[in-house]
Copies of this chain bind each other. A is one copy, B any other.
């Protein structure tokens, strides 16, 4: 997605924010199963992208010094099952099931976050896991009410790569809520003003209908104006009324593809290009 460029000034230039989508690094249809191969490929590619002078003859200073590294039998749909089973996204912490679901959701998403931090650390990327809940992020009717970015800024200034995740958080009106990774990315993008944002997922990009359907057309470039209106630039489509058909998986408490496109469009509106990319391709095909 292309956003109209704005002049942005930042104290420390951030090149890119990457969203590791659940579909990209986990096996979405299995309970808590990481797609180890994809996670390793993605981590390695991120290292290469971050360290341009690196050659394969150089040694990686791995940063996961724990006993368990390499193999995880933690196993994809981290957080979604726990949140939807108990209705954490609907609020109501006074109900014991919701409270239990809140705890269970946080255990699940922090487990995945730790595995991602581990995979990145094995590649020598100085990653720091940060939970939005612990950073003091909260919502009000599911929108971000407070989000302290001071810790994120300090970590970046100290040379670390913050790794955040979708989280169960407190909500000022309904008690609790699910803060999705997409909303977090948008908030980070608005604050950090990176050159671009990458969404890693399990498909090549946004299609005009679910990519599993026959004749689904990959939208290679979508332009988003400052007014938030968007139009497909490539390919040139006939009889296309901008209406992209989307579906929401039953277990997804954060709104599915429609929310994701809307969030990506809101980032593009800030003048930040958004790339939606299939994860784990050795030679990634990007859509931009």
Contacts and interface: CB of A to CB of B under 8 A. Distances in A.
Nearest to A30: B67
Interface string A38-69: 00000000000000000000000111111110
B136 A128 contact: no
Interface in A187-213: none
A118 B74 CA distance: 13
B61 A96 contact: yes
Interface stretch (A98-106, A244-252, A256-264): A98-106
Nearest to A112: B66
A117 B105 CA distance: 12
Contacts of A130: 131, 133-134
Copies in the complex: 2
Interface of A: 31-32, 61-68, 73-75, 81-82, 85, 93, 96-97, 99-104, 106-108, 110-111, 114, 117-118, 121, 124, 126-131, 133-136, 138, 148, 150-151, 154-155, 158-160, 170, 175-176
Given A93-B159, A129-B134, 16 more contacts: A32-B66, A61-B96, A61-B100, A62-B100, A63-B107, A65-B81, A65-B82, A66-B111, A67-B75, A106-B129, A110-B129, A111-B114, A128-B133, A131-B131, A133-B151, A158-B175
